[in-house]
Structure formats: C-alpha cells, structure tokens
Amino acid sequence: MTIFSIVLRSLRQHALSCAVTSASVALAGGLLLTVWVVKTQSQAAFTGINGGFDAVLGARGSQLQLVLNAVFHLEASPGNVVWQDFLDLQNNPDVELAVPLAVGDNFHGWRIVGTTPDLFQKSEYAPGKKFELRPGGNWFDPARRSAVVGSFVAEKMKLKVGDRFHPFHGLIYDEQRQHAETYVVVGMLKPSNTPADRVIWIPLEGVQRMSGHHAGADTEISAVLVKLKAGSALAGFQLENYYNKQGNHLTFAWPIGRVIAELFDKVGWFDRVLTLVAWLVAFVATGSILASIYNSINERRRELAILRALGARRTTVFSVIVLEAATISAIGVALGFGVYAVLISVVTEIIRSQTGVVLEPFASNPVMFWEPAAFIVLGACAGIIPACKAYRTDVANNLGPYS
C-alpha cells in the first residue's frame, strides 16, 4: 500500500470536507484563470484589431475616443470632418486607401454606419481576409436605401435579405426618434469576429442625407479610416505631425494598436485589482484546506498512531498529510477548469455582444500551466502546519487503553 493509496483512503473517509475545500479551490482557480485569460486575450485581441487600417482621422479630440468610435463602433463621435479634409487625405501620395464613415443613427440600439463600398471591396479586415456576404446577398447600392447587416446584428435581430426597417436617430435607441426613410436589407455579412459584425452598414449618403440631421450634414463625415502605403515608413509620423501638431481642427490617431494599448495601460489598475481578488480567493481557499485538515488531525490521532505502530515513520505521516493537502488542491484545480469553462463562456459572450471581439478562451495560455502548479504547491504548503501536528503525534498515548 503506497503513501498515495493511504492518502486516497483518507480523502474517502473525509469526503465531505474534502469536497467542500476542493470546491473552494475550484472557485478560486476558475476565477483566476478567467481573469488572467480575459486580461491577456482581450488585450491581444483589442490591440490586434485595426480593421486592416493604420490610422483614423477625425475631429479634434481624444485619439482613444476616435479609435473606439471608428474601429470598435463604441463611444460617440468626437465631432465631424468636412468632406474637403477627406479628399485632401485621400489624395495624399502616402495614403493607399481612405474610407469615410458617418455615424449617428441606430436600429433598436444597433449602430448604423454609413460608408462607401471601398470598405468591403478594397480593404482586408485581417491579412488575407476580406468581408464576405452570406449566399443570396449583395453589397449595398450607394444610390439606394439599402443595407448590409453584420452577422451578430442579423442573428440578434433575426434580420434577413428583403427585410425593411426604419433607422432611429442617435446612437441610443429611442422609439420616438424614428426616421422616415425605409431601408432594405440586401445582404448579410459572414461572421468576421470583428466589431463590424455588430453594425448595420448603409451608403455614406444615407446617413449624410437622413431626414432630421442638421443642415450641412451632407458635406460632413464622422471619421476616415486610413491605410498607408506599404514602404512609406515615415508617412505615419509626417501625417501625425501635420494634423496633430501643425493643424488645429483634426486628430490623426496613429497607429491604432498603440492607441488601444494606452487604453489598457489606463485600465491596468482594474486588471490588477481583479487579479489581486482572485489571488486573495486562492489564499482563502488554501486557508480552508489548512483549517479542515488541521481540525481533522485531532480526530485522526489514533489513526496516525496506528500507522506509526505499524512502522510508518514520522516523515511518512508528515508526507501523507502534505500529499493529502496537495491532492485536495489538485482535485480543486481540475474542477477549476470546469468553473473556468462556465465563467469564460459567459464573459466571452458578453465581450462579443458588447464589442464584437471574439476571444479564444480555450487557446493555449501559459496561465493554464503555471496556475495548476502554483495552486498545488500552495495546497501542499497549506498541509505543512497540520503535517507538523501529525508529525508530533504521540504514538503510545493514542494507541488505546493501557492494560
């Protein structure tokens, strides 16, 4: 009979307390895994998403707000850009592609964005990947009130080709602010796992000339997505200098990844708080292992004395208790992956529905290797104090009555 089989029998004897402490470790482990994976994956996903563009040009204001508005379709637009500014940028020899965007309307809370067909036909949202339509659909006709619906919106609003809808004014749904125009769904995007999935795309002129928009809206846009020519390494610096330092009415957010990284720097404290909470939960769970085994030692003194009387060394008894604590932790870690699967599924869906960004929660991540090891080591450490108590068990006094 090995030490491990002695441990398993002991766990079997104390199944209830073992289950409760394992569950607390599982909760802590699942929480820590979730926080860590969401942190690393969302940072990688958000900083990696640029829609295939290098920069965003918009009204004077926050670069972060500009990027969130134009690339992630979050936040309000910081202001408008006049059409001539768009043309100037489009004609810059270092610019490969400039795509105008106009925002300001919604359909039941889903953002309606006006743009040109260039967004779908000339750009790649990721290297080698262009937006594609589901079978039976078409790109919108700039001269008609037609719309292409992102895959997530189509799924949530159950829209299909041929459906008609009225846009609502503003970025927040208010049923009192319905526009008179009727749009026809002519196509639905295949899922791209980008924020574009959460948008209803209509021709740029549609937003510019929507009834109820302010006078002059037809010559203004909200932002310009900019792709610089490959090889023009200094173009980004030059345009940033031109718009941000020499100019005074526009903002050039470049590069997009750096702007988003700054966001994560700003909210880094939140990550750290969550991580700290997860580690605190882990320490509490470890403490519960310590307490449950420590308390059980009193009722197990006789059992330990019998083991010693049969020839088990003090170090063997010590090892049994430490291994028992580590095993409870290991069981908790294994169950923790189940907790993680549940938590991460919920969080991934929330992030997807709020931003369109899809995380890959089950992709390999270093935390999935070091977290189980750390928890098992912590568990084993929690076993040391009760193991010392077991180590000191007086054999003769605990074996039973003296005849």
Partner 1 sequence: METLRQPLLQISGLQKSFAAPAGGRHRIVSVAEFSLTAGLQLALAGESGSGKTTFLHLIAGILQPDAGTIHFNGEPVSTFSESQRDRFRARNLGYIFQTFNLLPGYTCLENVLLGMSFGPGVDRGRAQQLLERVGLGDRLQHRPQQLSTGQQQRVAVARALANRPKLVLADEPTGNLDRKNSRAALALIREACREDGAALLLVSHDAELLGQFDQVSDFSQINQTVHLEEIA
- Find the farthest-apart pair of alpha carbons in the chain and give their distance in angstroms, rounded: 106
Residue type, position 374, single letter: A
The answer to whether 1 contacts partner 1 (rule: CB under 8 A) is yes
Cα–Cα distance measured from residue 403 to residue 170, given in angstroms and rounded to the nearest whole number:
91
Could you tell me the smallest distance in angstroms from the CB atom of residue 281 to partner 1? 31
Q: Which of 43, 92, 316, 365 binds partner 1 (CB under 8 A)?
A: 316
The answer to whether 299 contacts partner 1 (rule: CB under 8 A) is no
Of the candidates 88, 91, 114, the residue with the CA atom closest to the CA atom of residue 101: 114
Question: Which stretch in 20-28, 117-125, 241-249, 395-403 sits in contact with partner 1 by CB under 8 A?
Answer: 395-403
The answer to whether 19 contacts partner 1 (rule: CB under 8 A) is no
8 A C-beta contact, residue 98 and residue 226: yes
The answer to whether 13 contacts partner 1 (rule: CB under 8 A) is yes
Question: Which stretch in 18-26, 40-48, 310-318, 349-357 sits in contact with partner 1 by CB under 8 A?
Answer: 310-318
Compute and round to an integer the Cα radius of gyration of the chain. Answer: 30
List binders of partner 1 among 116-155 (CB under 8 A).
none
**Residue 22 phi, psi (nearest 5):** -60, -40
Question: Which stretch in 76-84, 141-149, 216-224, 391-399 sits in contact with partner 1 by CB under 8 A?
Answer: 391-399
The DSSP bridge pattern shows strands 199-203 and 164-165 to be: unpaired
Of the candidates 167, 258, 270, 250, the residue with the CA atom closest to the CA atom of residue 212: 167
Cα–Cα distance measured from residue 403 to residue 399, given in angstroms and rounded to the nearest whole number:
12
Q: Which of 105, 197, 303, 371 binds partner 1 (CB under 8 A)?
A: 303
For partner 1, the closer of residues 76 and 395 by Cβ is: 395
| Contact pattern from residue 178 through residue 207 relative to partner 1, giving x for each residue in contact according to CB under 8 A and a dash for the rest | ------------------------------
For partner 1, the closer of residues 20 and 396 by Cβ is: 396
Q: Which of 56, 66, 159, 307 binds partner 1 (CB under 8 A)?
A: 307
- Please list the alpha-helical segments (H only) found in 164-234: 204-208
Residues 6+ apart with CB under 8 A from 366: none
State the residues that interact with partner 1 by CB under 8 A: 1-2, 6, 9-10, 12-13, 302-303, 306-316, 395-396, 399-403
